[in-house]
């Protein structure tokens, strides 16, 4: 069974199966029934992480260094657990910007920079070629072991012609295979659904094969884990090898290895391809974030048992990297080794396929296309169909990459174990991590910073890992490693700046990342971003901002015809039609049918979609150049982007402030309305007041003028009449003066400018005084005025003149409103709690309940035209009571109306607070204004 | 001899008007509020009324309105007197059918000539 024809036909059969699956996946994708629309398929495709290095090398490393190989899988586990945070953001950006590779991603982040993209592509090529070589080596070695066992296979190829070398043919076959299902479509961002399906299948095959070996070794060869571990425990040097102490570099080695694997997990071009570019649904990350770690656990479950078994059996099993194959072979099994070989083939081809597709995309989009666009712009511009060109470039790139891999394998591959080559590559791609990760979160990271950081990181990596590798291959003098270049000790590649005792990978990672991150951060701080770079930086760092979803990024103008021509030249007619189909479908309603479509201005959505479509084929940098060639105008500037980004928070803040403002406005409006009401009322009152004042003033004036004219015109007026009329004039003039005085008092009271002169005084004494002043007048009117001083003295603080004015006014009013036939007025002064009260009561009709406050309104009597006037008594101005109340209030007292208790008429009561007890008779008079 | 009814609640104004009318050769009747004014019109049948607007009880406007509504006295010449200088009051008075409107304080000569003119007009 282990003859070449059998093995070859099984291997080709397997590849053919893969191709069928891939073709099927592609067809399903075209029909819109995607085969890979499942998170499980996505998780399995990520398992392309497990290459031949895992399949064969893990056992090798376990045999040499114990469980340290696990770190290579703990890193990705960590990364996947962080997927919702980290990878999801990349996935979203890649989908939005139609990113085709990690080089494209980094280029796009730093302003769609062609140079940075080219740099990443170039470095990726340098870093990954050995890794591809490793897979070729694994296939060749495993094939040789399978065929030659138990004879130890000599895989040295130096003396053979390359056409005799199987790995050369393996590389060619793989190239053809990859061209067949990797470049069927031009648009890389349209995703290789068939390839992903095939890769997922391969992941299953290698897992099954590895588990089969594991189960076979543990349960068939050793009758269970108990026996196996028992035998290991009985062999002290073996038990020692399997302990944790055997990790190279100790604790720092652990950390270094973990970090290395973590970073490589998404910076490896193939990992970026399956994780980010080929992701069809962000939601798939959820299941993948636990399913993939589970896969890693499963495929590593038997690594240590197999390694221990291999070591126990000693010489029988040969090289530890081949234990997986040699152990089943040693038992004479025929079928299982073949399955293992297929599993290894799966692991190797899976890696080579994805890695080559990713690299060829980078090479064509980041290296060749920008060069072609730049140097032969005119030539390209006149070319009709360029879509074919692109495919051609990519196919040539695939062949070249595989040939490079073969060359590396043929020339230096032998010097390294599988694991070593893998780790060197890991450390190389880890240099992409600073530009990628920092660019994802720090908007200030600039193109110059990223470029210099990347270059520095790579140089350090090359010096500390790649070049020493050449030394170990015998290409360079070993003195470089041992003494340093020109004998400079601190420049020794494995002990840079005297850092010794670390494992070489951690050592290299530390110095390279230090240089990389240091330059990226440092240079970024001192360099400026171009407008496009600012825009892209904002779009990347703010990718999770929900406002970015529906944003058009072009302001510029072009016609649909120009865009159509551009797209069809680079993408071909069908793809162009697809781009336009989506847009016209949306826009037909607004398009006027009479106009030729080609003359129609292209909408910003259409321009954006066209750029995305071009980016999907050519990479973002080239797409930008091409779109710029037909679109006049600017891409959205940073301010616009930022304003879009800030929309949510701004809107929220704005809404909150708006709400606050509107509440405030409503409140102010309410206040204003109230104030307006009051003003209107005041205005009305003022008008009324003015009208009343004028009326009141005109009345005495009328008499004065009339009699003055009568006196003037009547020369022979009898003396008696003359005197009478003069008396009227004098009386009315006095009335006028009094009125004016009252109006002024009122005005002063209302504006708070009435100056009072408060001093301690006796209210009873004041009452007596007032009664004396008015007694004669009341007598004339026939009013019986009585006084009842129940508290004497009644010490209060007051302005004697003003209070007398108030009391006289009250007495005067009472006299007017007392009973017609036998008018009576009673004045009382008495104590009530801590106040003194003065009440003036009459025996008139009293004042009804609802009138009691209105009597204190200005000109009240005029407003109501009351019946009292009919009695022909002299009228007051209607200002007496309002003025009295104002004065009393200003002295801290009250004035109100009650029913008279003794006489049954109205009773006006004035209340003033009692003066503080031992108020010394002081010359100092407190002044209240 | 023509009879003039003077209606005002200000005794001194009534006094002056009474004197002026008598001096002009008219018979004078006085009233100090609306109610008594209406009664006076019924009793004494004046030829002209000098009617103040601001009266206790029913106002001068009310009196005017009632008189104009009464077909007998509809054409009785009435001069409104008022201390309200506002234009709206004047318009209101004229609209209610007052024959003239005099603002206080007034020119005695103008008042007397207005009264004379009105009476002469109604005589025709």
At A355-383, the pLDDT tens digits run 888 888 888 888 888 777 776 554 555 55
Name the band, by pLDDT with cuts 50, 70 and 90, for residue A904. confident
DSSP A706: H
Q: What is the mean pLDDT of residues A117-124?
A: 91
Query: Is the pLDDT assigned to residue A590 strictly greater than 60?
Result: no
pLDDT of residue A862: 39
Mutation for testing the B interface, residue in A708, A865, A871, A875 having most B CBs under 10 Å: A865
* CATH code for the domain in which residue B98 is found: 3.40.50.2300
CB-nearest to B10 from A699, A866, A867 is A699
SS3 A594: coil
Report the pLDDT value the prediction gives residue B30, as an integer from 0 to 100: 92
Instruction: Assign A843 a pLDDT band (cuts: 50, 70, 90).
Output: confident
For A702, the closest chain B residue by CA position comes to B105
Q: DSSP code of A34? A: -
- Residue of chain B with shortest Cα separation from A705: B105
Mutation site, A693, A702, A726, interface B, largest B CB count within 10 A? A702
Q: CB within 8 A of B56, min separation 6: which ones? A: A865, A866, A867, A868, A869, A870, B9, B32, B33, B34
A186 versus A34: the higher-pLDDT residue is A34
Cα(A588)–Cα(A36) distance, integer angstroms? 33
Q: Which of A86, A117, A97 is nearest to A450 (CA)?
A: A117
The boundaries of the domain holding residue A615 are: 554-645
The reply to whether A472 and A612 lie within a common domain is no
| A159: pLDDT strictly greater than 50 | no
Q: Are residues A669 and A569 in the same domain?
A: no
Q: What's the pLDDT score for residue A775? A: 84
Alpha helices in A248-334 (DSSP H): 250-267, 269-272, 284-300, 303-313, 323-330
Give the least confident one: A52-66, A508-522, B8-22: A52-66
Confidence of residue A632 (pLDDT cuts 50, 70, 90): low
Provide the pLDDT for residue A334. Answer: 78
* pLDDT given for residue A653 in this prediction: 66
Q: Would residue A765 count as lying in a domain?
A: yes
CA-nearest residue to A703 within chain B is: B13
Interface test with A, best of B83, B111, B112 (most A CBs within 10 A): B83
Lowest mean pLDDT among A26-40, A713-727, B7-21: A26-40
Sheet holding B3-7, edge to edge: B27-31, B3-7, B48-52, B78-82, B100-103
The pLDDT of residue A48: 87
Same domain for A320 and A453, yes or no, is no
Q: How far B83 CA sits from the closest chain A CA (Å)?
A: 5
Which residues in chain A touch residue B106, judged by CB atoms under 8 angstroms apart?
A: 702, 705-706
Weakest-pLDDT range from A163-167, A169-173, A255-259, B27-31: A163-167
A640 and A652 co-located in one domain: no
A919 is a domain residue: no
Transcribe A468-504 into DSSP letters.
HHHHHTTSS-THHHHT-GGG-GGG-TTSGGG--SS-H
Chain A CB within 8 Å of residue B87 CB = no
Arithmetic mean of pLDDT, A880-885: 87
**Subunit contact B19:A710, Cβ cutoff 8 A:** yes
Q: Residue A593: its pLDDT value, please? A: 42
Convert the pLDDT of each residue in B33-74 to its tens digit: 888 888 888 888 899 999 998 888 888 888 888 888 887 777
Q: What is the mean pLDDT of residues A716-720?
A: 88
- Interval A292-338: pLDDT, tens: 899 989 988 888 888 888 888 765 556 777 888 888 888 877 788 88
Count of C-beta atoms within a 10 Å radius of residue A155:
18
Mean pLDDT of A498-511: 80
pLDDT of residue B14: 92
Q: Which domain holds residue B74?
A: 3-123
- Select from B12, B13, B56 the Cβ nearest to the Cβ of A869: B56
Is residue A921 in a domain? Answer: no
Instruction: Tell if the CB–CB gap between A870 and B85 is shorter than 8 Å.
Output: no
Is residue A889's pLDDT more than 70? yes
Range with lowest mean pLDDT among A58-67, A587-596, A605-614, B87-96 = A587-596
Residue A363 forms part of a structural domain: yes
Q: Are residues A827 and A838 in the same domain?
A: yes
- The nearest CA of chain A is from the CA of B32 a distance in Å of 8
Is A657 within the bounds of a domain? yes
Does A314 lie in the same domain as A216? yes
Residue A240 pLDDT grade (very low, low, confident, very high; cuts 50, 70, 90) = low
Q: Is residue A923 part of a domain?
A: no
Banded model confidence at residue A185, pLDDT cuts 50, 70, 90: low
Spatial contact of A366 and A118, defined as CB atoms under 8 Å apart? yes
A767-818 per-position pLDDT tens digit: 888 888 888 888 888 888 888 888 878 899 888 888 998 998 888 888 888 8
More confident position, A872 or A578: A578
Cis bond upstream, residue B105 (ω within 30): yes
A756: three-class secondary structure by DSSP: coil
Q: What is the pLDDT of residues A130-141, one digit of tens each?
A: 888 888 888 888
Size of interface A-B (CB pairs under 8 A): 80
Average pLDDT of the segment spanning A103-124 = 88
pLDDT at B26: 92
Q: Which chain B residues touch A728 with a CB distance below 8 Å?
A: 12, 15-16
Position B124 scores a pLDDT of 59
- State residue A532 phi and psi, 5-degree precision: -65, -40
Identify which of A173-187, A399-413, A587-601, A826-840 has the greatest average pLDDT.
A826-840
> Is the CB of A865 less than 8 angstroms away from the CB of B57?
yes
- Residue where one domain finishes, among candidates A487, A509, A544: A544
**Same domain for A707 and A778?**
no
- Average pLDDT score over residue span B77-101: 82
Chain-wide mean pLDDT for chain A?
A: 79
Confidence of residue A848 (pLDDT cuts 50, 70, 90): confident
Higher pLDDT, A291 or A632: A291
Residues above pLDDT 70, as percent of chain A: 81
Q: Do A870 and B56 touch (CB under 8 A)?
A: yes
Residues A638 and A660 in one domain: no
Using CA atoms in the order A536, A537, A538, A540, what is the torsion angle rounded to 10 degrees?
Answer: 80
Alpha helices in A714-757 (DSSP H): 719-751
- Minimal Cβ distance to B108: which of A691, A706, A870: A706
Q: What is the ipTM of this complex?
A: 0.94
**A856 inside domain:** yes
Question: Are residues A620 and A656 located together in one domain of the fold?
Answer: no
Q: Where residue A704 falls among pLDDT bands split at 50, 70, 90? A: very high
> Does residue A714 sit in the same domain as residue A768?
no
Nearest beta carbon to residue A867 from set B15, B57, B105: B57
Provide the percentage of residues in chain A whose pLDDT is more than 90: 8
All residues of chain A having their beta carbon less than 8 Å from the beta carbon of residue B23 are: 714
**Cβ contact, residue pair B54, A695, below 8 Å:** yes
At residue A926, does pLDDT exceed 50? no
Q: Are B114 and B102 in contact (CB under 8 A)?
A: yes
Task: Classify residue A526: in a domain, yes or no.
Answer: yes
A812-825 pLDDT, tens digit each = 888 888 888 888 89
C-alpha span between A543 and A528 (Å, rounded): 22
For residue B27, the model assigns a pLDDT of 92
Query: Least CB-CB distance to B56: which of A691, A707, A866?
Result: A866
Domain boundary among A429, A446, A466: A429
Structural domain tally of chain B?
A: 1
Q: Which of B16, B54, B83 sits opposite A706 (nearest CB)?
A: B16
Q: Is the pLDDT of residue A645 over 60?
A: no
Q: Do B59 and A865 touch (CB under 8 A)?
A: yes
pLDDT score recorded for residue A376 = 57
List phi, psi (to 5°) of B8: -160, 150
Averaged pLDDT, A396-420: 77
pLDDT band at A870 (very low <50, low <70, confident <90, very high): very low
Report the number of distinct structural domains present in chain A: 5
Higher pLDDT, A439 or A165: A439
Among the partner-chain residues A702, A710, A870, the one whose CB lies closest to the CB of B106 is A702
- Is pLDDT of A925 > 50? no
Q: B58: nearest CA in chain A?
A: A865
Centre a 10 Å sphere on the Cβ of residue A469 and count the other Cβ atoms it contains. Answer: 20
More confident residue, A601 or A717: A717
Q: Answer yes or no: do A378 and A493 share one domain.
A: no
pTM: 0.58
Q: State how far the Cα of A86 lies from the Cα of A78, in Å rounded to an integer.
A: 11
Residue of B nearest to A691 (CA): B84
- Comparing alpha-carbon positions, the chain A residue that sits nearest to B14 is A703
**Of A19-33, A469-483, A560-574, A577-591, which range is least confident?**
A577-591
- Beta pairing partners, A557: A632
Q: What is the CATH number of the domain that holds A11?
A: 1.20.1730.10
Mean pLDDT is lowest, of A34-43, A527-536, A541-550, A860-869, for A860-869
Query: What CATH number should be reported for the domain holding residue A791?
Result: 3.30.565.10
Higher per-residue confidence, A210 vs A552: A210
Give the CATH number, domain containing residue A652: 1.10.287.130
Chain B residues 22-61 within an 8 A CB cutoff of chain A: 23, 32-33, 54-57, 59
Contacts of A694 in chain B (CB under 8 A): 83-85
Residue A156: pLDDT band by 50, 70, 90 thresholds?
Answer: very low
Q: Which residues of A touch B92 (CB under 8 A)?
A: none
Q: Label residue A246 by pLDDT band (50, 70, 90).
A: low
* Contact (CB<8Å) B108/A709: yes
């Amino acid at each position: 069974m282990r003859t070449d024809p059998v093995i070859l036909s099984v291997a080709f059969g397997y590849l053919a199966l893969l191709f069928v699956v891939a073709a099927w996946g592609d067809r399903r994708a075209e029909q819109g029934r995607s085969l890979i629309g499942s998170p499980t398929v996505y998780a399995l495709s990520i398992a392309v992480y497990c290459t031949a290095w895992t399949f064969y090398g893990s056992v090798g490393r376990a045999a040499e260094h114990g469980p340290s190989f696990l770190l290579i899988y703990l890193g990705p586990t960590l990364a996947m657990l962080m997927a919702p945070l980290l990878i999801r953001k990349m996935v979203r950006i890649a989908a939005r910007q139609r990113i085709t590779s990690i080089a494209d991603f980094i280029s796009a982040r730093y302003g769609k920079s062609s140079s940075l993209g080219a740099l990443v592509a170039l470095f990726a090529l340098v870093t990954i070629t050995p890794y591809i070589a490793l897979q070729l080596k694994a296939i060749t070695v495993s094939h040789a072991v399978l065929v030659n066992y138990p004879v130890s296979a000599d895989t040295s190829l130096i003396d053979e012609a390359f056409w005799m070398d199987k790995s050369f043919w393996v590389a060619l076959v793989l190239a053809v295979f990859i061209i067949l299902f990797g470049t069927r479509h031009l648009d890389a961002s349209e995703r290789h659904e068939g390839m992903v399906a095939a890769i997922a299948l391969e992941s299953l095959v290698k897992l099954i094969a590895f588990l089969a070996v594991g189960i076979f070794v543990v349960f068939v060869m050793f009758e269970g884990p108990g026996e196996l571990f028992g035998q290991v425990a009985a062999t002290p040097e073996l038990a020692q090898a399997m302990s944790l102490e055997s990790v190279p570099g100790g604790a720092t080695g652990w950390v270094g290895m973990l970090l290395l694997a973590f970073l490589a997990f998404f910076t490896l071009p193939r990992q970026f391809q399956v994780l980010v570019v080929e992701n069809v649904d962000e939601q798939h990350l959820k299941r993948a974030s636990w399913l993939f770690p589970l896969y890693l656990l499963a495929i590593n479950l038997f690594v240590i048992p197999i390694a221990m078994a291999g070591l126990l059996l000693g010489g029988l099993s040969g090289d530890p990297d081949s234990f997986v194959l040699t152990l089943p072979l040693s038992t004479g099994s025929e079928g299982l080794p073949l399955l293992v070989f297929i599993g290894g083939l799966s692991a190797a081809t899976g890696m080579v396929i994805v890695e080559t597709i990713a690299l060829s995309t980078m090479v064509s989009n980041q290296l060749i296309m920008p060069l072609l666009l730049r140097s032969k712009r005119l030539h390209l511009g006149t070319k009709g169909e360029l879509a074919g060109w692109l495919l051609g470039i990519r196919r040539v790139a695939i062949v070249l990459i595989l040939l490079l891999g073969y060359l590396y394998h043929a020339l230096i591959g032998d010097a390294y174990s599988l694991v070593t080559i893998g780790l060197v590559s890991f450390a190389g791609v880890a240099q992409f991590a600073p530009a990628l990760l920092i660019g994802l979160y720090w908007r200030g990271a600039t193109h110059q910073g990223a470029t210099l950081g990347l270059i520095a990181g790579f140089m350090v990596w090359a010096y500390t890992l790649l070049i020493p590798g050449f030394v170990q291959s015998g290409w360079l003098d070993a003195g470089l490693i041992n003494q340093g270049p020109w004998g400079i000790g601190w420049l020794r590649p494995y002990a840079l700046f005297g850092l010794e005792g670390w494992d070489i990978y951690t050592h290299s990672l530390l110095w390279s990342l230090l240089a990389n991150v240091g330059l990226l951060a440092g240079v970024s701080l001192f360099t400026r971003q171009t407008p496009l770079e600012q825009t892209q930086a904002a779009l990347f760092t703010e990718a999770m901002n929900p406002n970015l979803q529906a944003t058009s990024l072009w302001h510029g103008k072009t016609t649909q015809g120009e865009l159509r021509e551009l797209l069809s030249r680079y993408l071909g007619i069908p793809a162009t039609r697809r781009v336009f189909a989506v847009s016209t479908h949306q826009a037909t309603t607004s398009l006027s049918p009479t106009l030729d479509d080609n003359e129609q201005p292209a909408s910003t959505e259409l321009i954006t979609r066209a750029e995305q479509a071009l980016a999907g084929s050519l990479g973002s940098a080239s797409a930008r150049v091409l779109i710029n060639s037909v679109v006049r105008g600017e891409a959205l500037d940073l301010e616009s982007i930022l304003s879009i980004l800030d929309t949510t928070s701004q809107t929220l803040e704005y809404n909150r402030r708006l709400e606050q403002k509107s509440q405030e406005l409503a409140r102010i409006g309410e206040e204003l309305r109230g104030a307006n009401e009051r003003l209107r009322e005041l205005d009305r009152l003022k008008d009324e007041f003015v009208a009343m004042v004028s009326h009141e003033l005109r009345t005495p004036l009328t008499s004065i003028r009339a009699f003055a004219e009568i006196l003037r015109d009547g020369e022979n007026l009898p003396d008696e009449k003359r005197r009478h009329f003069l008396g009227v004039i004098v009386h009315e003039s006095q009335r006028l003066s009094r009125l004016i005085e009252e109006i002024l008092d009122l005005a002063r009271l209302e504006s708070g400018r009435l100056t009072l002169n408060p001093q301690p005084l006796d209210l009873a004494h004041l009452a007596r005084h007032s009664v004396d002043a008015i007694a004669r007048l009341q007598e004339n009117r026939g009013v019986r005025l009585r006084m009842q001083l129940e508290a004497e003295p009644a010490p209060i603080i007051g302005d004697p003149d003003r209070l007398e004015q108030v009391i006289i006014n009250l007495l005067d009013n009472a006299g007017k409103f007392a009973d017609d036939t036998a008018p009576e007025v009673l004045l009382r002064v008495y104590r009530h709690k801590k106040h003194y009260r003065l009440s003036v009561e009459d025996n008139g009709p009293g004042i009804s309940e609802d009138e009691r406050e209105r009597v204190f309104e200005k000109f009240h009597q005029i407003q109501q035209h009351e019946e009292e006037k009919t009695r022909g008594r002299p009228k007051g101005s209607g200002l007496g009571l309002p003025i009295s109340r104002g004065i009393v209030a200003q002295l801290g007292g009250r004035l109100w109306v009650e029913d008279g208790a003794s006489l049954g008429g109205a009773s006006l009561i004035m209340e003033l607070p009692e003066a503080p007890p031992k108020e010394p008779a002081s010359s100092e008079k407190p002044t209240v204004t | 001899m023509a009879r003039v009814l003077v209606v005002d609640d200000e005794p001194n104004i009534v006094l002056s008007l009474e004197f002026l009318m008598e001096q002009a050769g008219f018979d004078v009747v006085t009233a100090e509020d609306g109610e008594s004014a209406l009664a006076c019109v019924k009793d004494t049948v004046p030829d002209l009324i000098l009617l103040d607007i601001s009266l206790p009880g029913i106002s001068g406007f009310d009196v005017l309105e009632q008189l104009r509504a009464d077909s007998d006295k509809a054409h009785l010449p009435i001069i409104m007197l008022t201390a309200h200088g506002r234009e709206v009051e004047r318009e209101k008075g004229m609209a209610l059918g007052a024959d003239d409107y005099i603002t206080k304080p007034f020119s005695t000569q103008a008042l007397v000539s207005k009264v004379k003119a009105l009476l002469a007009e109604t005589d025709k």
